[in-house]
Amino acid sequence: MQQAATEKENYFSAYKLFVRTREGKDPAWLNELRSRAGSRFEALDFPTTRNEEWKYTNVAPILKVPFRQVFDLEPGAVKMAAIEPYTYAESRTSRMVFINGLYAPELSDLSGLPKEIVVTSLAEIPQESNDVARRHLGAYASYEEETFTALNTAVIGDGAFVHIPDGSMVEQSIHLLFVSTAKEPIASHPRVLIVAGKGSIASVIESYVSPGEDIYFNNAVTEVFADENAVLNHYRLQEESERAFHVATTRIHQKRDSNYTSYSISLGGEIVRHNLNAVLDDEHVETTIDGLYVVTGKQHVDNHTTIDHREPFCNSHQVYKGILDGRSRAIFNGKIFVREGAVKTDAHQLNKNLLLSGGATANTKPQLEIFADDVKCSHGATIGQLEDDELFYLASRGINPEMARALLTFGFAEDVISKIKLKSVRERLDRAVLDKLHQSLEIE
């Protein structure tokens, strides 16, 4: 408890220093939002394993590290060559790069975007987009009860603001690339706000990477608003250092006839926690949330998802798959709420876990809470190993046992990766998963 109190004071001191650095630089509404969140952060405690929602994830290792806060971007800290492997053909001229949470314009290229599309830093919101940002920033990711979200909101400075105006279609994918690198442990608080206007169509890639194996802490919050008839594809790729800590919150709010598709991939990190909450707040909303996590060694990944059906005639589909090796651990807690009056809801959820070693542990808890009649809902979860019959079949075809294991394991992951519409993203993830499996399976 003393350690948590000390670290909390360190974070709060950094918050107060940050506020001083932003004096006179931001609109009054943003200052007020930060102030409210800062006061709430001061009143909250960090979660412990005594909290039901954090039962399997202990944040004490994060609090033990004396992280330093970064307020200024070090020139030349990262070269273009270091981030090239994490860029994509579909977003060469629609890429926004952040280094340790701070916008790096010299590494970014937004020249391929139409003029009406707003992709900018939260620290430099254009006057014509100020009202849009004011209405949506902080409106969905509640900081009232979530300590990490309160901390992130209290230090909103740099961050990504994406506004797709009504009726706009963005052919290129917008890539928000967050790169972490540090000679000493640092804490960053990336913030993303995506607003898809009525009838708009867009794809956004949000990726977290590290060119090295540094120790750092990313506390990320993303808010997504999809207005009526909007179509948004959202790819969230986490390829952090395996010595890093990553706590993230993603909140989605959808209006009538909107279609939101999410692919959440988690490969890196020592301790990873991702809270994803989608609110279907109007009729005829479509939501698809798929995820894949691959963990080895002593990695720990925790996915908590909530899909909240508030209105009739809405559909949601969710498939999360996990591959675990070594002494790794994965947690999945998926909730589906069907509120009173949300008739004709069609909601399905499935979590599958593949254990490659006897030391790996998976905890899964799918949940349904239904308060309406005339709905179709299902949920399920599995934890298992590779089937002996399948291994025998491949061996009978002349494939050696280790290669057979690799093929079956990769096929398990490909069930999620193959759904991704962007070719270069699929290829990147195929290579990343294969590299991880080759290392753990020792395939020549």
Domains of the chain, residue spans: 2-282, 388-444
> Phi and psi of 169, rounded to 5°?
-125, 125
CB atoms within 10 A of CB 115: 5
pLDDT of residue 439: 44
Per-residue pLDDT at 364 exceeds 90: yes
Task: Give the C-alpha distances (Å, rounded to integers) separating 210 from 179, 225, 235, 324.
Answer: 6, 28, 18, 22
- Percentage with pLDDT > 70 across the chain: 96
Query: Using alpha carbons only, how large is the chain's radius of gyration in Å?
Result: 21
Per-residue pLDDT at 108 exceeds 90: yes
Predicted confidence band at 9 (pLDDT cuts at 50, 70, 90)?
A: confident
Task: Give the whole-angstrom CA distance, residue 232 versus residue 234.
Answer: 6
Beta strands in 33-128 (DSSP E): 68-69, 95-99, 102-103, 118-121
Longest dimension (CA), the chain: 72
Beta strands in 8-112 (DSSP E): 68-69, 95-99, 102-103
Task: Give the whole-angstrom CA distance, residue 167 versus residue 252.
Answer: 20
pLDDT of residue 440: 42
Q: Which of 184-198, 326-340, 387-401 has the lowest mean pLDDT?
A: 387-401
Tell me the whole-structure pTM to 2 decimals: 0.94
Alpha helices in 52-203 (DSSP H): 60-64, 80-83, 130-136, 147-154
Task: Give the whole-angstrom CA distance, residue 104 versus residue 122.
Answer: 13
Task: Give the whole-angstrom CA distance, residue 2 versus residue 185.
Answer: 21
Maximum average pLDDT range among 80-84, 240-244, 388-392: 240-244
pLDDT of residue 443: 39
Predicted confidence band at 247 (pLDDT cuts at 50, 70, 90)?
A: very high
Mean pLDDT of the 323-343 span? 96
Per-residue pLDDT at 15 exceeds 90: no
Residue-wise pLDDT for 118-171, tens only, equals 999 998 899 999 999 999 999 999 999 999 999 999 999 889 999 999 999 999
Contact status, residue 262 vs residue 288, Cβ threshold 8 Å: yes
Residue-wise pLDDT for 368-391, tens only, equals 999 999 999 999 999 998 877 877
Q: Which of 1-5, 143-147, 159-163, 440-444 has the lowest mean pLDDT?
A: 440-444
pLDDT of residue 444: 41
In whole numbers, what is the pLDDT of the chain averaged over residues? Answer: 91
Task: Give the whole-angstrom CA distance, residue 169 versus residue 307.
Answer: 27
Per-residue pLDDT at 302 exceeds 80: yes
